Structure 1
Amino acid sequence: MGFSLSPLAQQNFYRLEAFETIGSTNAVALERALAGDPGKLWIVSKQQESGRGRRGRAWATSHGNLAASLLLTGAFDLKAAATLGFVAGLALADALDAVCPSTVFSVGLDGAGNHGPTSAPLRVELKWPNDLLAGGAKLAGILLESTQLEANRFAIVIGIGVNVVAYPDDVPYPATSLARLGADCNAETLFLALSDAWQENSWVWNEGRGLAEIRKRWLARAAGLGSEVAVRVDGAVLRGIFETIDEDCRFVIRDSEGERIKIAAGDVHFGAVASARAE
C-alpha cells in the first residue's frame, strides 16, 4: 500500500508527493513554495534523515515512521496562521482515534497485584505547544515554518512527525511508538486518516475565525491541565499550575502568588520531577 489522500482531501484539491526516504519534508515543502507551488500540497515519507524539530533540534526518523508536511500559501494573517499547529494537533489526534485500536496492551500489574497482560484505553493527549503524548510519553511532534513570497503572500509549512514503528531512545524525555503501544497501524493508513481529519479541522478553524472552537477542543485533550508545570522561557524557568490556554493559544499558568502568566513560547515540563529537570 502506498500513500494516498482521502476522498475528502482530493475533493478539496489537496495534492500529494510521496517519498520512500527524504531529507526533510518541511525543507522540500519550502522549496516547492519558493519555486511557485500554489499550496495545498502534502509532502510525505516513511523515513526522514535530516528533519528538524523546534529550536533547530535534529529530528530523524526510522523507516516506517510517518513524516508529513503540508504546504499552504496565501495572504495569511500570521498571528492566526501561528495557531495552525493546534489545528494539526487536533487533526492528528482525530486520525489516531480513527485508525488505532481503542485499547493497548502492556505487561504490568493487574488489579490483584499480579504481573501479566493488562489493557488500558489509548488516550492521546496534546502537550502545548506542539507534541502529542500517549501514556505520558511523546508519540508525535509538530513544527510550523514560514517564508515570505511575492505580492505580500506567505508560505506556511506544517510538519508532522509520528513514531509509528520506532521511537528515539537518546532523548531526555519519555518517548513511545504506536508499535510499542500495540497499535496495528502503518504510516500509510495513518496518513490517509490524517489528510481527512486535517480538512475537517481546517473547516472548523476557518482561517482563524473558528479559533474559539479549536481552543475548546484542544483543551478537552490537553495534557497536564490543572497540574504543576515548569516552563523554560529564554533561559529562565517559570513555575505554576497549568490553568488554560488563552484566546490566542498562549500557555497560561498561575504562580505561587496567584499571578496569571501568559507564555507565547517555551518548553513545558510536567510535575515536580519534570520541574527539577527544567533547571
Structure 2
Amino acid sequence: MAFKLGPRAISAGYRLTAFDQIGSTNAEAMARAREGEYGPMWFVTSEQTAGRGRRNRPWIAPRGNLASSILEVIDVAPAVAATLGFAAGLAIETALQKVSIEASLRSAGSEHMKFSLKWPNDVLAGNKKLVGIGLEAEAVAGDRLAVVVGIGTNVVAAPEGTPTPATSLAAIGVDIGAEELFTELSNAWAESRGIWDNGRGFGEIRRLWLERAAGLGQPVAVQTGTASIEGIFDTIDEQGCLIVRKADGHRVPISAGDVYFGSAASAGAV
C-alpha cells in the first residue's frame, strides 16, 4: 500500500512527497523551504535513518514506523508558530483514535486503546510514549516563517532506553499500517490546522487539547535544564506554557522541559 493523502487534505490543497527511505523528513522539508517551496506539503516515509527529536535526541523510524513532516510557510511570529504543536497533537490523537476503532472492529470488536496528550509534544498509549512531535521554524524570503512539524509514530516497533518508556501500535494490539495511519493523519491535520487558523483559534485548540491531557490535576515534576519544578499540573496557558501549581499555591509557567508524572514526580524525577 502506498502513502496517499486523505480526501479532506486533498480538498484543502495539501500535497505529498513520499520516500521509501530517507535520513530525516524534517530536514528534507526545511531544505525544500530554503529552495522556495511554500507548501503546504507532507514529507513521509516508513523508514527514517537520521532524524532528530527534542534536545537533539535520535529520532529513528525502523521500516514500518511512520515518520511524517508537514511544511507550512506562514506569516506569524515564532511564538505563535510554536502553538501549532498542540494542533499537531490533536491531529495525530484523532487519527489514532480512528484507526484504533477500525482495528478493533476488524478483530471481532475488542476494546480500542485510549490515547492522551503529554505536554509539550508527546502522545501516550497508557503511560508509554507512542508519538513524538517536533517543530522547527526558519525565516524565508518575504519575511515569512517556514514551519516544519515532524510527527513520528511507533507503528511496528518502539525504541528502548528512552526517558519515557515507549510502545508501538503493534505492541498494544492495533494492527494497522503506516500508510493507513498517514491518510487519517492528513485529514485530521487539515481539520486541526483550520481550527488553529494562524494562531487565532488557539483558544479552541487549547480547550480540545486539555480534554485529552495526560496528568491534568495530578502531581508533576518538570526538569528544566538543571532545575526541577514540582507541584500539580494545573493547566496550559494562552501561550501553551505548562502551569504548575506549587504547594504554596504559586502558579509557575514553564515554556520548555521534560515532564514526569506519578512516582517519578513524587521522587523529583531523578
Distance 1:121 1:101 in 2: 5
How far apart are residue 182 of structure 1 and its match? 0.5
How far apart are residue 25 of structure 1 and its match? 0.4
The residue aligned with 1:198 is: 189
Distance 1:180 1:15 in 2: 31
2:167 is the counterpart of 1:176: yes
SS at match of 1:139: strand
Distance 2:126 2:147 in 1: 31
The residue aligned with 1:71 is: 71
SS at match of 1:50: strand
The residue aligned with 2:107 is: none
2:200 is the counterpart of 1:209: yes
The residue aligned with 1:237 is: 228
Distance 1:7 1:102 in 2: 18
The residue aligned with 2:214 is: 223
Which runs of no fewer than 5 residues in structure 1 stay unpaired?
105-118
Give the TM-score of the pair, scaled to structure 1.
0.91
Q: Does the aligned pair in 1 maintain the 2:67–2:150 contact within 8 Å? A: yes
2:132 is the counterpart of 1:136: no
Distance 1:92 1:11 in 2: 19
Cα distance change on mapping 1:120 and 1:7 into 2, 3 Å: closer
SS at match of 1:164: coil
Q: Does the aligned pair in 2 maintain the 1:103–1:120 contact within 8 Å? A: no
How far apart are residue 274 of structure 1 and its match? 4.3
Cα shift readout 1:243-271 (whole Å, capped 9, x = no counterpart): 11111111001111111111111110112
How far apart are residue 275 of structure 1 and its match? 4.7
Distance 1:49 1:169 in 2: 16
Give the total of aligned pairs: 265
Q: Does the aligned pair in 2 maintain the 1:269–1:278 contact within 8 Å? A: yes
Query: 1:203 is matched by which residue type in structure 2?
Result: G
Distance 1:30 1:259 in 2: 40
How far apart are residue 74 of structure 1 and its match? 2.5
The residue aligned with 1:167 is: 158
The residue aligned with 2:54 is: 54
Give the TM-score of the pair, scaled to structure 2.
0.94
Map residues 1-279 of structure 1 onto 2, 5 A cutoff: 1-101=1-101, 121-276=112-267, 278-279=269-270
Cα distance change on mapping 1:161 and 1:277 into 2, 3 Å: farther
Q: Does the aligned pair in 1 maintain the 2:228–2:268 contact within 8 Å? A: no
Query: 2:127 is matched by which residue type in structure 1?
Result: G
Q: Does the aligned pair in 1 maintain the 2:195–2:204 contact within 8 Å? A: yes
Which runs of no fewer than 5 residues in structure 2 stay unpaired?
105-109
How far apart are residue 102 of structure 1 and its match? 7.2
Distance 2:130 2:192 in 1: 20
How far apart are residue 38 of structure 1 and its match? 1.6
Larger radius of gyration: 1
How far apart are residue 8 of structure 1 and its match? 1.4
Q: Does the aligned pair in 2 maintain the 1:95–1:190 contact within 8 Å? A: yes
% identical aligned pairs:
51
Larger CA deviation: 269-278 vs 135-144: 269-278
SS at match of 1:239: strand
How far apart are residue 277 of structure 1 and its match? 6.3
SS at match of 2:135: strand
Cα distance change on mapping 1:103 and 1:67 into 2, 3 Å: closer
Q: Does the aligned pair in 1 maintain the 2:100–2:112 contact within 8 Å? A: no
